Structure 1
Amino acid sequence: MIETHLKPGERLDGLSSQNIYIIQNPDMFSYSLDAILLAYFAQPKGKGRGITVDLGSGTGAVGLLYAPKITGIVKLVEIQPELAEMSQRSIVTNHLQERVSVVNRDMNTIFDDIKPGSVETVLSNPPYFPLNATTKTNIDRHYELARHELTIDLPKLAQIANKLLKNNGKFYMVHRPERLTDIFAAFAERKLMIKRVQFVYGKAGREANMVLVEAIKAGKPGGVRILPPIIAYTEDNAYTSQVHEILYGDVWNK
């Protein structure tokens, strides 16, 4: 029986394949399939004894779901105090206080807390939408920060990831396929060499709506692998067997 303290409007969501439970408040922001697939896609380096940083962690979903795959520590970096506090209670709920912690800070100033060049793996599910003259942002501030590049954009995110990582450390990100040109440009300029790409499709026969990317700091150019696609839903709007196994199957690190 999981015991946790929920505030009004909150709920506890779980992922049985990882035995992880996360506190969420739909009135602020809730994680979705992109966060789960990013945590699944990310591959620990060796036995995963190094530091992992989840940049823009929100409710902590990506870092918490990734934590069972490794033995090292995880730092959740989140600018919004309400979400950071929610993440901290999720850490306690999952009895991960010895390995997972929250840093409530703007990631642009994270180097006061995390030493440059000390991180083995960086994870990020960043805001997808750039700001321009025609951008219509959400009235709710929590959603604005989660969806739109208000405090961080792709080039700056790539710069921060590069500075955090050790040489040959890995950066994992989920984003939108229409931003691929921006992603490749931002990563290449900051010596983050893309090595694996996997597209996610809502349903078979449709355009991809997500892309998962792995890059290595100071890696050798070339050698990009395009993995088989992930199809999320059947025509009847049920999870495909592929996604059902990710959500409800064996523990990922077995």
Structure 2
Amino acid sequence: MLKEKVMLKENERIDIIPGSDLKIIQNKEKFSYGTDAIFLSHFAKGKGTVMDLGTGTGIIPLRLYAKDKVDKIYGIEIQEEVAEVAKRSIELNKLDDKISIINMDLKELPMKFGKSTMDTITTNPPYMKSGGALVNPKENFAISRHEITCTLEDIIRVTEYLLKPLGKFYMVHRPDRLVDIIYLLRKYKIEPKYIRFIQPKISKKPNLILIEAVKTGKPDLKFYEPLIVYNEDGTYTDEIYKIYGRIGK
């Protein structure tokens, strides 16, 4: 009955979003969210009007709404098919008045939205530089992982245009791009304020970073304790259970 009601397509399924009662439509053959989106949505503090750049299937807007009950969230996604899945997830949760999915190239956002109109911007961007790694032959995976349709600088430049003064920017990325990230944030007057490294285990090197930055903020960079995903025996750490809303399980 549920599948017929929401008109699921081939290979699609409905999952419960971790830490909430909301639902999301996913398709493992095409695109589904990863742990990096969960970590970012937990780390970010949604406030006022929020925009998520490269929203994919809408996991970050849905998690931010469930957690922070923000006024309005815009999810920007260039891939038409993926944006359509995100829209159906928003409709499934009856959140059309709170979350809007917009299918467009984020580089064109200054033509649609006014300058300094966003309180918070989040992004889980493509990690790989163009030409920096083998490209997945499936286009949707390639666009999500490689800087094909936009670069890191495109994202930060658009963020500077859209963010209000003292507005906050949250990003998840790879540690090997940290120098690029800080350089570009400074170039566009978005000051990095907090960094948190994510390590698979305490004995392993970080493989992700979370960054909070403030437009026109004063220089004052701080580091949180690293987030450790697994105990040495392979079980999740207590903090991961809390992030996923499974305390005590």
Residue 83 of structure 1 is matched in structure 2 by 82
Q: How does 1:93-172 map to 2 (within 5 A)?
A: 93-132=92-131, 135-172=133-170
Task: Supply the distance in 1 between the matched residues of 2:27 and 2:239 (Cα, whole angstroms).
Answer: 28
Q: How far has the Cα of 1:180 moved from its partner?
A: 0.4
| Map 1:135-214 → 2, pairs under 5 A | 135-214=133-212
Partner of 2:221: 224
Match of 1:241 in 2: 238
Shift of 1:176: 0.2
**Per-residue CA distance 1:47-74 (angstroms, 9 max, x = gap):** x2x2100001111111111112133100
Check conservation: 1:168, 1:219, Cα contact below 8 A.
yes
Paired AA for residue 191 in structure 1: K
Query: Structure 1: any 5+ residue segments left out of the alignment?
Result: none
Tell me the secondary structure at the aligned position of residue 199 of structure 1: strand
The Cα of 1:249 is off from its aligned counterpart by: 4.2
* Residue 112 of structure 1, CA deviation: 2.8
Total equivalences in the alignment: 244
> Is the aligned partner of 1:62 residue 2:60?
yes
CA contact (8 A) 2:49 2:70 kept: no
Structure 2: which 5+ runs fail to align? none
Question: Which residue in 2 is equivalent to 1:53?
Answer: 51
Structure 1 position 18, deviation (Å): 2.3
Work out the CA distance in 2 between the residues paired with 1:192 and 1:34: 22
User: 1: distance between equivalents of 2:125 and 2:189?
Assistant: 19
Match of 2:17 among 12, 15, 18: 15
* Aligned-pair identity (%): 36
Deviation per CA, 1:67-123, whole angstroms, max 9, x where unpaired? 121331000100001111100011011121111011100001112332221000000
Contact 2:64–2:70 at 8 Å: present in 1 too? Answer: no
Q: 1:116 to 1:248 in 2, by over 3 A?
A: same
Paired residue secondary structure (1:208): coil
- Contact 1:63–1:123 (Cα < 8 Å) also in 2: no
- CA RMSD in angstroms, aligned pairs only: 1.6
CA–CA distance in 2 between the matches of 1:55 and 1:224?
A: 24
**Following TM superposition, by how much is the alpha carbon of 1:17 offset from its aligned partner in structure 2, in angstroms?**
1.5
TM-score w.r.t. structure 2 length?
Answer: 0.93
SS in 2 for 1:248: coil
- CA-CA distance at 1:16 after TM superposition: 4.2
Instruction: Output the amino acid matched with 1:169.
Output: G
Q: Secondary structure at the match of 2:126?
A: coil
Match for 1:24: what amino acid?
Q
Instruction: Measure, in 2, the Cα distance between the counterparts of 1:21 and 1:203.
Output: 30
